[in-house]
Amino acid sequence: MKLLTTLASAGLLALAALPVAAQTPSTLRVGLQEDPDMLDPHKARTFVGRIVFKGLCDKLLDITPELKLVPRLATEWSFSADGLTLTMKLRTDAKFHDGDVFNAEAAKANLERARTLPDSLRKSELASVDSIETPDASTIVMKLKRPDATLLAQLTDRAGMMLAPKSLSGDVATKPVCSGPYKFVERVQNDRIVLEKFKEHWEAANYHFDRIIYRSIPDTTVRLANLRAGELDILERLAPTDVKSAQADKSIKVMSVANLGYQGITINTNNGDGAKQPMGMDKRVRQALSLSIDRKVLNDAVFDGLYEPIIQPFNPGNPYLSAEFPVPARDVAKAKALLKEAGLSKVSVELFVTNNPVQAQVGQVIQAMAQETGIDVQVRSTEFASQLRDQQQGKFQMSLIGWSGRIDPDGNLHQFVTTKGNQNDGKYSNAEVDKALDEARTIYDVAGRKRHYDAAQKFLQDELPIVYLYNDKRYFALRANLQGFVINPDGMIRLSGLKRQ
């Protein structure tokens, strides 16, 4: 017994003598919905990965909440008159985490890696680049194969991120060396990624935390519980069902912004046997489906009325939205008339949804609404990897699927509806749409581009290869004492200016 008592008291003493754990005042703890994939900007693919890169890697350009381009590593930029040359001036005071200086050579090495590495995922983003020149240490010149209005937007994200040249031959995915405001310290897969302040960063004065810990907590309830318990300072993607309870908590702030993407139904119009049914073959049936859905009720039923109904591939407030296509009111009579016109009294169609409760609910609400107009929707739920594969192989009739969105309008349309688009799983094909969207890529001014998107939308809104449903607004929750969070429709967490009161 005596031994036990001695041991116990020794243990207690040891515990008391330990340093206070992890929670020094200058650590920012961020809750992520998933664990990021590779930490190599040229190979990474996940949305959450981009959030981590915001702290780790600087890029050539950035965007403001209004989607305007602003300088980062590139201080100024211009296109030549023929639109075939992009010249960028670079910062001269930027450094990589290994101490090397950032210059045009380094930028060139990165861009070359991004567009030539066999398994680079940035290739298509930089496909218009023909060659890269470095006339001097602070200038980089990109020669283009064709004018490319989407290029600058690509350089605001992973394609424009800069890794230390010496690290390029090493294991980038697990030990990234960049030039961002924070350096990589460690990663515990499925748990956390730790970054530490890079004191030599050119903008170091704007970053007030010494350490950043990103923790992946997939369960939304548990993620919120962690925030409320003071274990996190900020979290991304608060579930709509949790918004009310978070708002009621005085120690927490909730912020939201329309996200750049969309959620909708992709319809198989032309991809194998799956297209050979009334929904795939006759646009009137698709119009009837769209008219039978009350987007507002859908949003009220599943998302507590927090998401916004849409019918175009752009987020509310986007400069490329067309006034010509307002969100239609539900019209059962007209939907029935359209079916009748198509010579049908009843249509039966299958809808793929991802096997999570929210998607299943969306599917069920659509099913109930479509039923009333004579469209019998059978909801089939599978997990995401299978859904993607079947969709690509044309083994589907309709698929409920979303898109996280891009800053540039091209990223929300071109690959989904042009004949050769990588993600055109329904194999929709319309020469006029192809032409309008291809041309829109080559025009640098907004008004001129918009005319081409409007022209494309005229066909798309009539033929409906994709029926857009809602914009899944992004909700962030943060501790009330966290100041300086600038919310941006790209859904990223920018660390600049963040501080604890």
Partner 1 sequence: MLALIGRRVLIALPTLFLVALFVFALQRALPGDPFLVIAGEERDPEVIAKLREIYRMDDPIFVQFFAWLGQVVQGDFGRSLRTGVPVLGLIWQKLGVTVQLAVASMIVAVGIGLPAGIIAARRKDTLADYTASAVALFGLSVPHFWLGIMLILVVSVELKWLPASGFESIFVDPKASIERLIMPAFVLGGGLAAFIMRHTRSAMLEVLRSDYVRTARAKGLDEDTVVNRHALRNALVPIITLSTLLFGELLAGAVLTEQVFTIPGFGKLIIDAVFNRDYGVVQGVVLCTAIGFILMNLLADVLYVLVNPRLRSG
Among 89, 143, 192, 499, binds partner 1 (CB under 8 A): 192
Phi first, then psi: give them for residue 67, nearest 5 degrees.
65, 25
In the region spanning residues 141 to 180, those forming contacts with partner 1, defined by CB under 8 A, are 171, 173-174
CB 236, CB 32: distance < 8 Å = yes
Nearer to partner 1, 9 or 174 (CB): 174
Which of 41-49, 201-209, 277-285, 298-306 is the region at the interface with partner 1 (rule: CB under 8 A)? 41-49
Which of 2-10, 117-125, 139-147, 322-330 is the region at the interface with partner 1 (rule: CB under 8 A)? 117-125
Task: Based on the shown chain and the rule CB under 8 A, indicate whether residue 115 belongs to the binding site for partner 1.
Answer: no
Q: Report the alpha-carbon distance of residue 72 to residue 58 in Å, rounded.
A: 7
Task: Based on the shown chain and the rule CB under 8 A, indicate whether residue 208 belongs to the binding site for partner 1.
Answer: no
Task: Based on the shown chain and the rule CB under 8 A, indicate whether residue 228 belongs to the binding site for partner 1.
Answer: yes
Identify residue 173 by its one-letter amino acid code.
Answer: A
Task: Based on the shown chain and the rule CB under 8 A, indicate whether residue 12 belongs to the binding site for partner 1.
Answer: no
Which is nearest to 278 in space by CA: 367, 377, 363, 389? 377
Nearer to partner 1, 73 or 227 (CB): 227
| Least Å from the CB of residue 429 to partner 1 | 17
CB 149, CB 440: distance < 8 Å = yes
Residue that has been written with the tokens 């005596």 in this structure: 2
Binding mask 348-367 for partner 1 (x = CB under 8 A): --------------------
Q: Report the alpha-carbon distance of residue 142 to residue 100 in Å, rounded.
A: 23
Task: Based on the shown chain and the rule CB under 8 A, indicate whether residue 403 belongs to the binding site for partner 1.
Answer: yes
Task: Based on the shown chain and the rule CB under 8 A, indicate whether residue 191 belongs to the binding site for partner 1.
Answer: yes
Among 3, 205, 333, 385, binds partner 1 (CB under 8 A): 385
CB 468, CB 216: distance < 8 Å = no
Nearer to partner 1, 47 or 182 (CB): 47
| Least Å from the CB of residue 248 to partner 1 | 13
Which is nearest to 245 in space by CA: 230, 229, 225? 225
Q: Distances from the Cα of 383 to the Cαs of 112, 150, 196, 262, 362, in angstroms?
A: 36, 32, 37, 20, 16
CB 380, CB 352: distance < 8 Å = yes
SS3 state of residue 293: coil
b/e map of 417-434 (b: 16 or more CB within 10 Å)? bbeebebbbbbbbbeebb
Q: Report the alpha-carbon distance of residue 493 to residue 209 in Å, rounded.
A: 14
* Tokens matching residue 387: 């859904």
Task: Based on the shown chain and the rule CB under 8 A, indicate whether residue 481 belongs to the binding site for partner 1.
Answer: no
Among 65, 99, 170, 230, binds partner 1 (CB under 8 A): 230
Task: Based on the shown chain and the rule CB under 8 A, indicate whether residue 123 belongs to the binding site for partner 1.
Answer: yes
Nearer to partner 1, 293 or 478 (CB): 478
Among 423, 429, 442, 496, binds partner 1 (CB under 8 A): 423
Which residues of the shown chain bind partner 1 in the complex (CB under 8 A)? 14-15, 18, 21-22, 35-40, 43-46, 118-121, 123-125, 171, 173-174, 188-192, 215-219, 221-222, 225-226, 228-231, 382-386, 388-390, 392, 403-404, 415, 422-423
